[in-house]
Chains A and B, each alone.
Chain A
Amino acid sequence: MSETAIDVNKEQQLKSLQKMRLVRALLPIVGLVLVFILFNFLTNGRMISHLHLAMSQVYVTMIASMGVFFIMTMGGLDFSQGSILGLSAIVVCALSHYSIPLAVAGGILTGACIGAINGYFYVNRKIKSFIVTICTMFLFRGLIKYLTTNSPVAGSVDLLDIDSTFFKVCCTAVVVFIGFICFTFTRFGTHLRAIGAGEKAAMFSGIRTDRLKFWVYVLAGAITGFAAFISAIKVGSVTSSGGNQLETQILIALVLGGMPISGGAMARFENFVVGSLLFVVLNSGLTMIGFTTQMMQLIEGVVFLLFVAIFADRQAIHVIK
């Protein structure tokens, strides 16, 4: 009798736990819709009428945050994305004078190389990922400043000609779709989540953890290298601040999207998609209302803190003996 009572209890407990998880999963999406409606109301519909302008920031953030999403799923961090974007954009602009496909390949390769440096120090030298990537952030930011000392690196005119909302939407959609398939329907995603949830146990399940960790950093670099191309066709040139603060934007976007900071099994693919949309809506909404930059940072900081508090995995793990 007591056995069944406990089973019923367990079932109720699990139901409430699943409800909690569902709330957590839906909260960012609901938040996105609410914030969108709120800002349209506050700006008398200006946001919808200027949607393509508001959305112009989203492509780069969304593409680049996919790479960081993979890294964070396996429990790592990456602060070097801004510098990767800046340096890759310089390469894209410089090579665009020869050929556009070459420029794209060059950007991706540059990003992949920096990712490989991150991966090498993280995996082979066993240094914490946030320390490694903060170092590479400073290192390559310095290089960007050096390369742009005299004048910004300008791209060819052909580069700007490609720029259209349709093209950027297509590029983003294709990248996100490929990412979705790989994350959900191949071993890649399951292995990443296993590493995030417990690296040693993942290794003992036959996952080549070190190899995968290295390649994920390379992949994230390459993805940001591609984002640099999207960024270059929009701006046309790179200054010393190219890609500045991208890493913080990505981090905020991921957290807004409900990404657990420590990664693991609770990471969901829509986290970064919803998160980067929410971030951009929030950002452009606040601008349209007419807040100063300082005020905006303050508000965003409060929102960020709120979301971290909600999504940090504080749930105590009780095993009743």
Chain B
Amino acid sequence: MSEDIRLQVSHISKTFGITKALKDVSFNINKGEVHALIGENGSGKSTLTNMLTGIYPMESGTFTLDGVQIHPKNQVDANNLGVSIIVQELGTLSGLTVAENIFLGHEDRFMKFGFRNTHAMNAEADRLLQRYGFNNIKASNMVDDYNFEDRKLVEIVKATYFNPKIVVIDETTTALSQEGREVLYKQMEAIRAAGNTVIFISHDLPEVIAKSQTITILRDGVYIDTIKSADVTEDQLKKLMVGREVTGDYYRSDYGEKISEEVVLSVRHVTVPGIIEDVSFDLHKGEILGFGGLSESGMHEVGKAIFGASYDREGEVKLQDGTAINDIPTAIKHSVAYTSKDRDNESVVINQSIRDNVALPSLDRLTYGSSRFLSWPRIKEFAQKFAHEMSVKMVNTDQFVSELSGGNKQKVVLARWIGRGSDIVVLDSPTRGIDIKVKQDIYQLMNRMRQEGKSIIMISEELMELIGMCDRIIIMKDGKISGEAPRSRELDENSLISMMV
């Protein structure tokens, strides 16, 4: 058996300040397998792989790769040792060509007498891209010319072309559409078939069970167990991750409820040049309206357009009382809320306290009487009340949002709009990169809001949650509405995918 072991993780610990991110973690990873690493946010998955790939320095413990101890100093060093990583967010550098990105840190092979042979490098990169079947990407183009999806493909080439012994894929799938995922799955399978190893980090449990052979679970920086994917169910995994039974409803359980006739928001002929074209629909009171599609289908722009945040928008967004929404302050004033897919840049002010973030849209109400002077006691009380209502994991509201995990940041975002008492809530990818426990909280919250008569627009790349939560699902394709499906027990992913592509 022992000759099959590729990597021995033994007694790895890591601390950040006085937070212990990893506590004496030991397990083995075999050759020729997709080894999934799962756990809730903050369980130490990324910390472990970042140490393996030289992004974080080692602290205590050892990595033994094929019987040799390794201490990668940086990512290039890790590559030379046979370990590479595809990260969650953008891992390509702007301002460089595709070829320069692929061979970043390994330019030596194209150097002659101190000069770089760009032609040879581009030719080699083109050859690689052809081999992977990414024919639409050209090596000599700037990487900025390509969208998120294609840049991820470039990263796949960059991380795998040299046949590394271990490839780490860190929550990459959450950022990809269905097509992109299929490409990635194919590459994972190819790496495995070649006898190499994939370490696969994902929050999507069905995906983990379907695509991996072995699963290791971490919880709060502690190693819990390593099990065979074939022997485990989703519920068992959830239990292992959370440390207790996940109880209660996950998605909505009701079917056949009638949607109110009352229209609270009507969108007519909205066009944003180059992104969406002639989009019209109505949102009813107490309805959860879903938007699905490929990530480039324009569905994310629909959310911005409703909130008055699009540039050059044409067409009309009107509320029940006839108010036209053309800019963000008007939207907020008339009880429209929006959470962006780009949480860290657009939804929360990262380098600011939880208190200020929660209170920011509601400051005009938190004054002394009807004066314009802010009441800090009221602001504090307000922030505390809604942060607690959303059970944000924090020490107090003075804490900066940057110190929170993804799920808790999203809770801060939701707390601010619940505090504002918004009646129309636009949620763009509300559960992106968030663990099951918080996902469940968010789904339950949406259900409660719906029952209270608030209307929700949910934009998501995960079809399962749209099917589970929405009264109606609108599918977008190439910037236009391509179909609509009402809530029903029989609705499945395939019928929606057929409208998407």
Contact = CB atoms under 8 A, between A and B. Distances in A.
Interface of A: 2-3, 5-6, 9-14, 16, 18, 181, 184-187, 190-191, 193-194, 197-198, 200-208, 264-266, 317-321
A190 B357 CA distance: 10
A318 B351 contact: no
Contacts of A2: 219-222
B346 interface: yes
A211 B44 CA distance: 43
Contact of A190 (B47, B345, B350, B363): B363
A19 B364 CA distance: 32
A205 B401 CA distance: 15
A184 B361 CA distance: 17
Interface string B213-225: 0000001111000
B332 interface: yes
Interface stretch (B107-115, B403-411, B437-445): B403-411
11 contacts: A185-B373, A191-B363, A194-B349, A198-B349, A200-B346, A201-B346, A206-B328, A206-B329, A208-B327, A317-B402, A319-B403
Contacts of A194: 349, 352, 356, 360
A264 to B, nearest CB: 5
Interface stretch (B11-19, B161-169, B190-198): B11-19
A175 B112 CA distance: 66
Given A186-B372, A265-B353, A320 B16 contact: yes
A229 to B, nearest CB: 28
Contacts of B364: 187
Contact of B350 (A6, A16, A198): A198
Given A200-B345, A206-B360, A321-B47, 7 more contacts: A2-B219, A6-B221, A14-B395, A18-B398, A194-B352, A202-B360, A208-B329
Contacts of A191: 363
B317 interface: no
Contacts of B360: 190, 194, 202, 205-207
A18 B361 CA distance: 26
B463 interface: no
Nearest to A206: B332
Given A201-B348, A204-B347, A264-B351, A321 B374 contact: no
A11 B18 CA distance: 10
Nearest to B372: A186
B470 to A, nearest CB: 24
B245 to A, nearest CB: 16
B246 interface: no
Contacts of A202: 349, 360
Contacts of B351: 197-198, 264-266, 317
B342 to A, nearest CB: 8
B386 interface: no
Interface of B: 16-21, 41-47, 219-222, 307, 309, 327-329, 331-333, 338, 340, 345-353, 356, 359-361, 363-364, 372-374, 395-396, 398-400, 402-406, 416
Contacts of B416: 205
B422 to A, nearest CB: 11
Contacts of A11: 395
A302 B403 CA distance: 33
B18 A13 contact: yes
B418 to A, nearest CB: 15
By secondary structure, the B interface counts as mixed
A21 to B, nearest CB: 9
Contact of B356 (A6, A184, A190): A190
Contact of B347 (A5, A10, A201, A266): A201
Contacts of B338: 204
A24 to B, nearest CB: 14
A319 B406 contact: yes
B289 to A, nearest CB: 21
Contacts of B20: 5-6, 9
Contacts of B350: 197-198, 201, 317
A5 B42 CA distance: 14
A280 to B, nearest CB: 31
Nearest to A321: B46
A265 to B, nearest CB: 4
Nearest to A189: B374
A320 B346 CA distance: 21
A203 to B, nearest CB: 6
Nearest to A260: B351
Nearest to B45: A321
B332 A201 contact: no
B173 to A, nearest CB: 15
A9 B18 contact: yes
Contacts of A16: 17-18
A168 to B, nearest CB: 28
A14 B399 contact: yes
A203 B328 contact: yes
A204 B328 contact: yes
Contact of A320 (B44, B329, B332, B352): B44
A10 B395 contact: yes
Contact of B19 (A3, A9, A198, A265): A9
A321 B405 contact: yes
Contacts of B328: 203-204, 206
A14 B396 CA distance: 9
B395 A190 contact: no
B17 A198 contact: no
A92 to B, nearest CB: 31
